[in-house]
């Protein structure tokens, strides 16, 4: 019996999004606080879509840690496996700059953050066993002991026939060099059932400057993956199956406010659709529509849409 459609493992942090748009961060005076961190955003998005979700991570024993855990519980995520850091490590912070709808950047504060101190002993087999799918974020592999905790969670998922979804989620902060990224990304990608990332993230995985999708899928389909999703921003996304099929998902038109949040909302809705038995083509559309909604809103997590909002947008732009 599975209790959770999806358990995500990795960071749950704080986003501080510029309230004043279209100006550099130097001139931004006000920021709004939201829960952030790619795997947390994916779990929040999936939970808002009605999936039953759990989370494995580590948060600080302070006001930010409690804010993160309270918000995640309020949206329906099981937070029983979010360890509380007792050594004074702090939450990661992501300040966002919205220079224009297409020029956004993130200034991350991630030195010695609590999420990278998740210990392998804090990953529980009985918990992972209860999931249909484990969503692993690449950033959790950046440093020990979180690296070993994530590797352990993948091993336990495989042992218990839990589907492993690897969201590459490459963030340069805290990685030492490109070789290291490629080593750990390859280890996990080769053991995952589904791998999702942008073209640039797959380049990091393969340690190449200009990869192409054909080479990527030829390499990964020699290993465990059955489904690979490669995102190309507004140009849309592609899904490849081990049986040799290719599907293309178009991006939906959107009144874009900022670019971040697209990837996490895409993953949440794509995985929701697959869980509900939709086709891969439909899942690409759910992912793209969800992303189009989130890029038109101020936050990543709080802006995650409902199924009705996603389906309304798909219907509206069906031609």
Ligand X SMILES: O=C(O)C[C@@H](O)[C@H](O)C(=O)COP(=O)(O)O
Residues that bind ligand X (CB under 6 A): 13, 15, 36-38, 41, 94, 106, 260-264, 300
Cβ at position 243, least distance to ligand X in Å: 29
37 binds, among ligand X, ligand ADP, none (CB under 5 to 8 A by kind): ligand X
**Complex with ligand X: residue 7 or 93, whichever CB lies closer:** 93
**Complex with ligand X: residue 3 or 32, whichever CB lies closer:** 32
**Complex with ligand X: residue 60 or 263, whichever CB lies closer:** 263
196 binds, among ligand X, ligand ADP, none (CB under 5 to 8 A by kind): none
**Complex with ligand ADP: residue 178 or 256, whichever CB lies closer:** 256
94 binds, among ligand ADP, ligand X, none (CB under 5 to 8 A by kind): ligand X
Strand order in the sheet with 82-85: 82-85, 53-60, 4-9, 131-137, 163-167, 194-198, 227-231, 237-241, 246-249
Give residue number: closest CB to ligand ADP. 263
**Complex with ligand X: residue 82 or 162, whichever CB lies closer:** 82
Cβ at position 12, least distance to ligand X in Å: 9
198 binds, among ligand X, ligand ADP, none (CB under 5 to 8 A by kind): ligand ADP
41 binds, among ligand X, ligand ADP, none (CB under 5 to 8 A by kind): ligand X
**Residues near ligand ADP, by CB under 6 A:** 198, 231-234, 236-237, 251-252, 254, 256, 259, 262-263, 266, 288, 291-292, 295
256 binds, among ligand ADP, ligand X, none (CB under 5 to 8 A by kind): ligand ADP
> Could you tell me the two tokens for 316?
């509206």
**Complex with ligand ADP: residue 50 or 236, whichever CB lies closer:** 236
């Amino acid at each position: 019996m599975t209790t959770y459609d999806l358990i995500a493992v990795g960071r749950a942090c704080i986003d501080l999004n510029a309230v004043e748009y279209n100006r550099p961060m130097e001139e931004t005076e006000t920021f709004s606080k939201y829960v952030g961190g790619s795997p947390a955003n994916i779990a929040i998005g999936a939970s808002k879509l009605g999936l039953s979700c759990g989370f494995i991570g580590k948060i600080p024993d302070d006001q930010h840690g409690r804010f993160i855990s309270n918000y995640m519980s309020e949206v329906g995520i099981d937070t029983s496996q979010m360890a509380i850091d007792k050594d004074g490590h702090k939450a990661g912070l992501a300040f966002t700059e919205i220079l224009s709808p297409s020029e956004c950047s993130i200034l991350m504060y991630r030195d010695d953050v609590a999420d990278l101190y998740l210990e392998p002993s804090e990953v529980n087999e009985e918990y992972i066993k209860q999931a249909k799918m484990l969503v692993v974020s690449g950033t959790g592999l950046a440093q020990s002991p979180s690296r070993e905790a994530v590797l352990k969670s993948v091993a336990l998922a495989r042992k218990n026939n839990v589907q492993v979804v690897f969201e590459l989620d490459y963030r340069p902060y805290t990685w030492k060099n490109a070789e290291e990224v490629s080593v750990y990304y390859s280890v996990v990608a080769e053991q995952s059932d589904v791998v999702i990332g942008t073209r640039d993230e797959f380049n990091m995985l393969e340690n190449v400057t200009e990869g192409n999708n054909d080479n990527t899928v030829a390499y990964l389909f020699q290993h465990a993956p059955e489904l690979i999703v490669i995102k190309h921003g507004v140009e849309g996304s592609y899904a490849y199956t081990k049986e040799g099929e290719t599907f293309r998902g178009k991006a939906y038109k959107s009144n874009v406010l900022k670019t971040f949040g697209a990837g996490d909302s895409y993953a949440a809705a794509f995985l929701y659709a697959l869980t509900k038995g939709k086709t891969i083509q439909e899942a690409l559309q759910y992912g793209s529509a969800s992303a189009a909604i989130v890029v038109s809103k101020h936050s990543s997590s709080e802006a995650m849409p409902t199924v009705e909002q996603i389906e309304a947008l798909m219907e509206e732009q069906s031609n």
